[in-house]
């Protein structure tokens, strides 16, 4: 057992309920397939590394353990799963840290599943920063964060309007009011809407190793992507 849990907030890729903002441009089925590629890249990159990989999934009725085993069969034994708990996203985030603390992990790094290009080095930097800071945040370019890491399940979530441009700022303010030290990592972009996808596709054309499964999927949808790019 590692001293660090790497938790990923994830959904089951069901058409019509996955990447709904992006689906307005790509269609529900393509958005779900694309999201599955995101999850595949994350599973293959982080399972079996120096950190213990946990999927915090929704909806809770899904057999997520069996599902993630299909993403990286050779690495299935290195992945654990537990359902997200809570009526709102902030509560669900907080409960992930409670879960990992309850499993006796001294350190927890939590990431989203909307950045398949996040690298191992970034997660390692977050873990290292926890030696000095109480809260480590990876700023997303939309004003949120793609990563949050803590040693204890501090409540830096209550009252934060999630999925808004003030999430990062308000999270930092809430942490500081509790006397917690904060460290920021380098910014990264999430893939939520079509311009984000176009940006990711361009990055993957230059370096497919950033997210190989996603790059391969986008390559099979070149005509679709080109049509949207000309709009």
As a whole number, mean pLDDT of residues 164-181 equals 97
Residue 226: predicted pLDDT: 59
Q: Using omega within 30 degrees of 0 as the cis cutoff, is the peptide bond preceding 90 cis? A: no
Each domain of the chain, given as residue ranges in start order, spans 4-191
Question: In the chain, which ranges are continuous DSSP H helix?
Answer: 20-26, 28-46, 64-71, 89-102, 120-129, 167-177, 194-206, 212-220, 222-229
Round to whole Å and give the CA distance between 204 and 176: 37
- C-alpha 98: how far from chain center: 18
Round to whole Å and give the CA distance between 5 and 151: 10
Beta-bridge mates of residue 83: 57
Beta-bridge mates of residue 109: 6, 149
Q: Which residues contact 113 (CB under 8 A, 6 or more apart)?
A: 8, 9, 10, 11, 35, 38, 39, 42
Just give the CATH number of 4-191.
3.90.550.10
98 pLDDT higher than 80: yes
Name the residue among 137, 86, 103 with its Cα closest to residue 1: 103
pTM for the whole structure: 0.94
Residue 220: predicted pLDDT: 86
* pLDDT tens-digit map of 174-224: 999 999 999 999 999 999 999 999 999 999 999 999 999 999 999 987 655
* pLDDT tens-digit map of 69-85: 999 999 999 999 999 99
What sign for the dihedral angle of Cα 183, 109, 90, 8? positive
Q: Which residues of 4-30 are buried (b: 16+ CB within 10 A; e: fewer)?
A: bbbbbbbbbbeeeebbeebbebbebeb
C-beta of residue 1 within 8 angstroms of C-beta of residue 53:
no
* pLDDT tens-digit map of 29-58: 999 999 999 999 999 999 999 999 999 999
Residue 221: predicted pLDDT: 78
Beta-bridge mates of residue 6: 53, 109
Sheet holding 135-139, edge to edge: 79-83, 52-58, 4-11, 107-111, 145-150, 135-139, 182-184
């Amino acid at each position: 057992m590692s001293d660090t849990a790497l938790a990923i907030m994830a959904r089951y890729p069901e058409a019509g309920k996955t990447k709904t903002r992006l689906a307005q441009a790509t269609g529900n089925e393509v958005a779900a397939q694309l999201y599955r590629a995101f999850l595949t890249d994350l599973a293959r990159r982080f399972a079996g590394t120096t950190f213990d990989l946990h999927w915090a999934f929704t909806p809770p009725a899904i057999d997520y353990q069996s599902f993630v085993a299909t993403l990286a069969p050779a690495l299935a034994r290195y992945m654990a799963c537990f359902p997200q708990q809570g009526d709102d996203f902030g509560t669900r985030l907080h409960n992930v840290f409670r879960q990992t603390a309850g499993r006796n992990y001294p350190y927890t790094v939590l990431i989203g599943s909307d950045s398949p290009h996040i690298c191992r080095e970034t997660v390692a930097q977050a873990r290292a920063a926890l030696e000095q800071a109480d809260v480590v945040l990876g700023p997303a370019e939309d004003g949120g964060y793609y990563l949050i890491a803590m040693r204890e399940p501090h409540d830096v979530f209550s009252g934060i309007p999630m999925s808004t441009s003030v999430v990062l700022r308000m999270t930092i303010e809430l942490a500081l009011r509790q006397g917690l030290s904060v460290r920021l990592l380098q910014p990264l972009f999430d893939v939520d809407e079509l311009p984000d996808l176009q940006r990711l596709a361009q990055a993957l054309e230059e370096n497919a190793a950033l997210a190989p499964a996603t790059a391969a999927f986008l390559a099979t949808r070149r005509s679709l992507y080109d049509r949207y790019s000309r709009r």
